[in-house]
Amino acid sequence: MITSSPSKIQSIDPATGEVWREYDSATPQQVQAAVAKARAAQKNWGPAPIRERAMVLRNFFDALFNRRMEMAALITRENGKPAAEALIAEVIVSLDIIKYYLRYGPLWLRPQQLPHQNLALKMRRAYVHHVPLGVVGIISPWNYPLMLPLGGTVAAILAGNAVVLKPSEFTTAVVLETEKLFHEAGLPEGVFQVATGDGSTGAALAASDIDKIVFTGSAATGKKVAAAAAEKLIPVVMELGGSDPMLVLRDVNLDHATSGVIWGRFMNCGQSCVAVKRVFVEQEIYEPFVAKVVEKVNRLRLGPGNHPETDIGPMIRERQVAILEQQLADAVAKGAKVLCGGKRRPDLGPFFFEPTVLVDVDAEMKVLQEETFGPLLPIVPVRDIDEAIAFANATPYGLSASIWTADLKHGRALSQRIEAGAVLINDAVSHVGACEAPHGGAKASGYGRTHGRDGLMEMTRTKYLDIDPITFLRKPWWFRYDANLLQQLNRFADLLFSRSLWARLRSVPESLGLLRRKTWV
């Protein structure tokens, strides 16, 4: 942990509003020092055998597994989500990611022999190496304070990089506990460091001497991070906002789809990038669909996340509640109707907001134009699936989407028409927990991928190695050029590419003449 700045950040329990911890905010100079320390540590960590790197991560896996309930309780305390969600969506998914990379990562990182296609290169041996980048800077959000940063961190460390992580100032304690577990696992000093602080700390990290940035957050902040990276010509992985559509077809199982939309919208109190944000239902089933959703939403239990029976916890901070209220007020002023919820619950705590279902929504309202980050569900009827797809694509975002139908073949065909990084059929959100699935978006939802093989490769640089064991024979394409060489190369092109068997056979003598050239310099 990097400390000793006079600026303070606070950890607040969202369920009570209590300030329960304070932390120093790292200065730009301290961030630069951390990056320098990481670079020095990486010089030893990167060349270490992968089995040694994997052993440290296996120790970390064991430590996290043994303290899984403690970590889940800490996430609930600092983020507010129900204990069950903290365990399944954060800790268990993180353990699965580590297990997955430990199983497949060493294989993927192994040098791979690459056969040459061209006849002129057949005697050479070629290899593709995936080498560490160096120092990776990760800037992570508060809504999944363990799972989101850990996926990139584990991939980076296994690949031989050092990591400097700037967590959200709202969820500092979770990441500092993660740092503690890494140290207990035997990770060398400097390979993983946490830079605590607010947005200015993240800006200092983006501007420092790092080799890659992994950023998760808003599109507005993402543009600033990308601009800072562009100044240094370093690559970036961007996982930005989403306004994920859910398309409900007339043949759907209503009970299944309504339960799915409620979880997909309201889990983590609606504060998920990949949450269902807009629902488009074919007209024939719109009214029974809405009625069943409202009936089920009214049964959800709102309360502190540390109560085992709680379904929905508090929002993270006052500013998030205020933004949600502005979006809801805009919709109501323009004619939308609230069917349930729609107000704060100060009797429970300062940041509680009821799960809300909204109808009579149109495209002019903020709830369909902006990302809604809270427990607000707009439901829109559509004439047919073509109108639903038009609505789904009518947004700058393209993180994920879902299609709900009994006709899986039809659903799969429709998925190709939706502009998103992931499309789920008859489920939503849960693909983020699939460790093998590459996670990322399209359009303004970002670029690059985390998780899966793609996520590991993001943490490497591809390096090509080519070995020619024949040292007594000079290359026929070396100097000096003449008319005879031009003719021989022309015939060699016939040998390689002509569709005529006769032309290829006829070209053999002159092509072989390339090997007998005497005019080399």
* Residue with tokens 């890494």, as numbered in its chain: 182
pLDDT above 60 for 2: no
Mean pLDDT, the chain, integer: 95
Strand 112-113 to 422-425 pairing: unpaired
Give me the amino acid identity at 149. P
Pull the structure tokens for residue 425: 């059929």
Pull the structure tokens for residue 366: 């903020």
Angle at CA of residue 144, ends 312 and 434, nearest 5°: 100
DSSP string, 399-457: SEEEEE-S-HHHHHHHHTTS-SSEEEES--SGGGG-TTS-B--EETTEES-BSHHHHHH
Per-residue pLDDT tens over the stretch 432-457: 999 999 999 999 999 999 999 999 99
pLDDT above 70 for 133: yes
* Residue with tokens 């970002």, as numbered in its chain: 446
Mean pLDDT in residue range 229-243? 95
State yes or no: is 273 an active-site residue.
Answer: yes
Q: Can you give the pLDDT at residue 480?
A: 86
- What's the order of all strands across the beta sheet hosting 212-216? 192-194, 162-166, 135-139, 212-216, 236-239, 446-447
- In CATH, what class is 25-240+453-463? alpha beta
pLDDT above 70 for 6: no
Q: Can you give the pLDDT at residue 520?
A: 60
> Residue 79 CB: number of other CB atoms within 10 A?
29
Which one-letter DSSP state was computed for residue 354?
Answer: -
Pull the structure tokens for residue 300: 């959800």
Percent of the chain with pLDDT over 70: 98
Mean pLDDT in residue range 230-240? 96
Catalytic residue among 239, 370, 419, 458: 239
Contact by Cβ (8 Å): 438, 449: yes
Rounded CA separation 359/353 (Å)? 18
* Residue with tokens 């909204």, as numbered in its chain: 358
Per-residue pLDDT tens over the stretch 460-512: 999 999 999 988 878 888 888 999 999 999 999 999 999 999 999 999 999 98
Q: Can you give the pLDDT at residue 500?
A: 96
Per-residue pLDDT tens over the stretch 12-39: 999 999 999 999 999 999 999 999 999 9
Q: What is the pTM of this model?
A: 0.94
Q: Can you give the pLDDT at residue 518?
A: 72
Pull the structure tokens for residue 213: 């940035």
State yes or no: is 309 an active-site residue.
Answer: no
Q: Can you give the pLDDT at residue 519?
A: 59
Mean pLDDT in residue range 46-55? 97
At 103 the three-state DSSP class reads helix
pLDDT above 70 for 1: no
Strand (E) positions, 55-168? 112-113, 125-132, 135-139, 162-166
User: Which stretch of 19-23, 267-271, 326-330, 516-520 has the lowest confidence by average pLDDT?
Assistant: 516-520
**Of residues 121 and 297, which shows the higher confidence score?**
297
Per-residue pLDDT tens over the stretch 79-90: 999 999 999 999
Catalytic residue among 78, 90, 177, 273: 273
Q: Can you give the pLDDT at residue 179?
A: 98
Percent of the chain with pLDDT over 90: 93
Q: Can you give the pLDDT at residue 3?
A: 42
Rounded CA separation 517/477 (Å)? 10
Angle at CA of residue 509, ends 506 and 512, nearest 5°: 130
Rounded CA separation 166/410 (Å)? 43
User: Which stretch of 5-9, 73-77, 190-194, 263-267 has the lowest confidence by average pLDDT?
Assistant: 5-9
Mean pLDDT in residue range 399-413? 97
pLDDT above 60 for 335: yes
User: Which stretch of 15-24, 279-288, 367-376, 510-519 has the lowest confidence by average pLDDT?
Assistant: 510-519
Q: Architecture of 244-434 per CATH?
A: 3-Layer(aba) Sandwich (3.40)
Residue 7 — pLDDT band, cuts 50, 70, 90?
confident
- Is the preceding peptide bond at 480 cis, omega within 30 degrees of 0? yes
Q: Can you give the pLDDT at residue 5?
A: 43
Residue 4 — pLDDT band, cuts 50, 70, 90?
very low
Provide the residue ranges of all domains of the chain, joining segments of one domain with +: 25-240+453-463, 244-434, 473-516
pLDDT above 50 for 274: yes
Mean pLDDT in residue range 365-385? 96
Q: Can you give the pLDDT at residue 515?
A: 83
pLDDT above 70 for 128: yes
